[in-house]
């Protein structure tokens, strides 16, 4: 049975290792819908399986933390990413260091 776009998005999110992040656009491209970055963001907001599906590891294309519906909001997201070893420059993830190269 063929997986839906939503199922692919959550599967890809679960594949992001600790200490790495992916962008919404990167997940959309990997799920075969390169123009669906906003849909990826919507799925992250509706994540029914946190923390098994670590939506906090998905960030904007410039490394900014554009939102997080979990505990603590964006501040909580940053704390979790820092605890996992993600590298930041100011308030943005240093994508050259911490971007997942799948």
The closest alpha carbon to 99, from 82, 86, 90, 83, belongs to 86
Closest CA to 23 of 4, 50, 49, 44: 44
Active site residue 13: no
Residue for token pair 């599906």: 53
**In contact, 59 and 26? CB cutoff 8 Å:** no
Task: Indicate which residue of 55, 58, 81, 86 is catalytic.
Answer: 55
Distance CA 53, CA 42 (A): 14
Q: Hey, which residues are catalytic here? A: 55
């Amino acid at each position: 049975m063929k997986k839906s776009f939503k199922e692919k998005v959550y599967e890809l999110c679960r594949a992001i290792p600790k200490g790495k992040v992916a962008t919404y656009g990167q997940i959309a491209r990997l799920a075969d819908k390169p123009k669906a970055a906003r849909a990826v963001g919507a799925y992250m907001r509706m994540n029914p399986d946190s923390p098994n599906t670590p939506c906090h590891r998905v960030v904007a294309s410039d490394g900014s933390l554009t939102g997080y519906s979990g505990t603590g909001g964006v501040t909580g997201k940053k704390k979790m990413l820092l605890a996992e070893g993600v590298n930041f420059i100011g308030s943005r993830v240093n994508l050259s260091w911490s971007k997942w190269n799948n």
